[in-house]
Structure 1
């Protein structure tokens, strides 16, 4: 039996152990993880949630006055609130938490946020229909699903990007928006040092002109549309290759090139190793993941298996400081809550992480230093002492911590919990312990 590795599997690869889970996993935690990524993915289907969200947005935009617009705006806000709860609940309730962590990783990697008003009805649909079905599939399929989705097209302003020499651009005097082209390379694929230039940013932005969400005038159910009148005509040179005029196919070819680029393999490998191993990931682990990515043509299941097989990921030292979302979900799982609900959304917000509202297209930060600001640390302390202990009056601190952390719980922390002056303070100290605050 391997209780240490079982604790690592549940807490580092997943979202925290449930009571009794570590003993259950001890026989073979590696197979438990592998089984989660080789399960059949949920089908992408015909994107019913996205279609419904787009109908709400079209109704808002089409309403003739504020009075008739308000019910649809209220519907969008209700959808936003429901999606925030579902985002956390899916992690709390998951029986495949490693796969769920991968879903959340990719949702954050390809961030969209409510800061862009038009995203409000879409964030939950985006995670469910553009991220979840592809989280352990081919990276190229995931990239394509993301770039075609209304949430991303709105968030990074491609709806406002028009070819300057296109029919519509010349008629309306509008032009290019480079946001999607830039972030696709800097954040989503090649990385900031991936070897592209400002000319490549502009070229990719021109290639993607005409890519928009469906509109009221489109056939019912249209989620994505290519609009030739807004597409920049003529050949474009991107990453050293000239693409002849081919309309929408130019964009597909550019996505093919980005997905297959060696810099993309390196960037994705670094991001995954940073998330699962350490803020400054070991070079050997990055190299191994990048090689797997390239050798398999971006097979994310194979890359995830390579992560499981990385000895660096199984070091007992906890080197990843939990984000607020991680902390809230691991607490809810540790308390064996069936549902987290609105309180969990409020807890994450109070601790510094509003669901689906990352501060920039970079997503939520993944380094300890970003979550150790004094005011955020004080919020963790107050949350641990004031909120959570009220829910668990019947828990004993040391058995609680031992059940969730197993033999990775240090003797020092055990001593602190044994000497706690009260049950409530002991539970707060268990939540504030270095072992619980890290994974």
Structure 2
């Protein structure tokens, strides 16, 4: 977890911005208690009826609540990524916008109101006209808007990660290129300087000037560089997400830096050392030499190992995202390692036990035995259940990202199945 220090208006340093994504609270009644700020990602609620109960604030993304009463105190800003507050007192200054994800505003008029800060990761608004409506804030990661007139239509908000819009007006200034995911700019003016490559995910630059030095490859996910100079060494593979390496000997070729998520290695030379297994998401190794030890499975998302020795036991399936193994005997082939986050494999042997459903992303189970109990829906991202028994209640939609249910009882309405990451509820009364 990252701690982001923010200098408030009176200069005090606050380390309480701990949110994993964003908690927006502007409650109509009393403030939430600290223990109630639990959302890991996002619940957007624009409630017209009674407020949510504490037990209902369980979303893995973010609770957005708009408060008409007193503001949150600093100690209440505990969301796992970011709390953006445009308080009813003085507005935040630009230097105070330091969230782990980021709201970038190139504002031409007054500051954004609370209702405008709704993006699940980042809303880029260079608004010249009316504000976005709630239904239009649907981007799974980032909505880039350079609005010149009417609001975007729903069909325009489609990006699962990022909507890139080329602006018909002046280009973004360098200080505005701070997106936590990705800003792709084919700028007509001067290129970015090295110090300006600070994106939390990826800056793709086809630079016309001098290339980046190795020490400058510090992106939280991946900097793809088509470098004209010397190649990267292994120690320089430090991407927070993924470098795809098909190393045949010396350093990486340009064509070998391919993925933002996963390191696929089909190494013909010596194996990587333990210190080289640093990817924040996934290291895929189909090693021809000795296999990794169990203690070496440390990837932040998933280490898929097609080991030539004995297979992993169930207790060893501890990946932060998901290791699905349909172990029948022979190991997975390379063509079977396809999923960027999750390998879905249907098992011909006994099903996983409930305690084994620990995946941080998604457990897809089409179980031949008894269905999971409601309390067992613990997946960090998504549990897809085609349940033959009674349907889940709405209050039971607690998945870390989204529970999609194709229930044989009454189906969820479209308005209930909204976000690939987030359950958007615009509740008109009790559920």
TM-score by length of 2: 0.28
Higher relative contact order, structure no. (Cα contacts within 8 Å, ≥ 6 residues apart): 1
Instruction: Select the structure that is richer in helix.
Output: 1
Instruction: Select the structure that is richer in strand.
Output: 2
TM-score by length of 1: 0.27
